[in-house]
Structure 1
Amino acid sequence: MSIFANLTHYLAIIIILAIPVTGLIWLIDSLFYKKKRREGKKEPWIVDWSKFLFPVVLFVGVLRSFIIEPYVIPSGSMQPTLYAGDMIVADKWSYGVRVPILNTRLFSKPGEGIERGDVAIFKFPKDEKVNYIKRVVAIPGDVIDYKNKQFTINGEALEYQYVGPARAPEEEDLFVIERFPTGPVGSNEYKEHTIQTSKIITDADRGLGLYHRFPLTIPEGKFLMMGDNRDNSYDGRFWELVDDQKILGKARFIWMNYNCVTSFEDCDHIFTTIE
């Protein structure tokens, strides 16, 4: 999966670079060489390919950079919201127009549009060639605490409600409903989502092996990301907070699942929106 992640990273760079290269070749040929060629003489192959590729890479580049981009979920760390193999579409405009590759904002402030509860795509802090997907659980200004499976935001302990057993093969796990605030401190705006958590208290629940010392205040321009499969997720508890510039888009829609194509499993997830 890391090989695939690296390939998608370099593919995005190649597409962006191909736009000016193919466009320039086509333009130079049109201005200087096309008129000098004898009538009926075939165009050089590089010009022919540039004329074909330029509109293609331009369309794909604009689509991936500013509108939507496809991703494949590599693991079960976001169960039950997302399964491994889910093919999703993320929109890029929700988090502001950004410069391709550099991902810096053009017309908005850092953090604008990113809300607590979003399922977001971002560059993995430990290897920025890899794209990760997690839920935004804390935004700038939040004071959070996490211990013994209890998550607290701004002094308010989140509510949990048992909803049933987890899907195989995690028979020892269970589902709970997590209800957490999405608006500013003191507001009555809440969002509920299902998380998958083991009955066993893990080392992370006890505060062992964590990157951060809790309670933790989220600084400006930073976000804490956690997986919905809380006890089987390598997430923001174990590495640094995610910077606004590293956030790529908001996950919106599951259009297919790899396992559904290959073995007719997990087909119930396709054609569903992501909450």
Structure 2
Amino acid sequence: MESVSKQQAPTQRSDAAEASETGGVRSVQRAMDILSLLTETRPVVSIREIVEATGLAKTTVIRLVQTLEQAGLLWATDKGYTAGPGLWRWAHLAKRAWELPPETQQIMRDLAARQRETVNLYVARDIYRVCVAQQESPQPLRHVVQVGDELPMWAGASSKVLLRDATPALLTRVARSSPYGESHVDTLRGWVDAVLTTGYATSAGEREAGLSAVAVPVTGRSVAVVAALSLSGPTIRFTDDRIAEFVDDLKRVAARMSERGFDHPLATV
């Protein structure tokens, strides 16, 4: 027993030091970086591509890839490595946990069909907002983000809505993450006050030039904001009259979603 303790101690100290320096375990982060290289447009990656993308030594990449392969998270092919069967099981679990109920999805589809703009549903994750559901606009020129994408909270109509109940400490942290620094907190407070007064938020070119959005809160049983429902698209189509129409429709849909109850891993009710 004594010899085991002596062998484990350096490893424990190393892990703690590594975590304190990086905010997480470095080897785990490196493994996640490798998995994140896999996309719909790049379903297979080679060792050389991983080395070039991560900047890691080839020997380190090989060790990490072998570990991921043993865990079933990567699968070796003639052209390189692709997603392994272990991820398939996790994908099914994630789908069950994250996918919205069919009736809620139908409400969003109907909204996109009526207003002909992209419908997004965001929830807050610390200083980010995560897109948890989307219905694309039927128009050729449209705004689309991927479900699961994390966007910053320092700008955008949905961010303003999600920050409605934010603490001063969170507003400060969001401001510090912005290109404007901590002075941006005054702007954030102004946005929050506006949402409290009007019940909705708008944005035009705040994060992407030529992109506008309108968002309203989806609330839980405690009337706290649990999600932001938005319509987004090219700024040229977001005229004052259309924005007023969007707000009315969004509020009606959000009220229905709030009445039905909004259950999601990132939403606190």
TM over 0.5: no
TM-score range, shorter chain: under 0.3
Structure number with higher strand proportion: 1
Higher RCO (CA < 8 A, seq sep 6+): 1
Q: TM-score, normalised by structure 1?
A: 0.23
Structure number with higher helix proportion: 2
Q: TM-score, normalised by structure 2?
A: 0.24
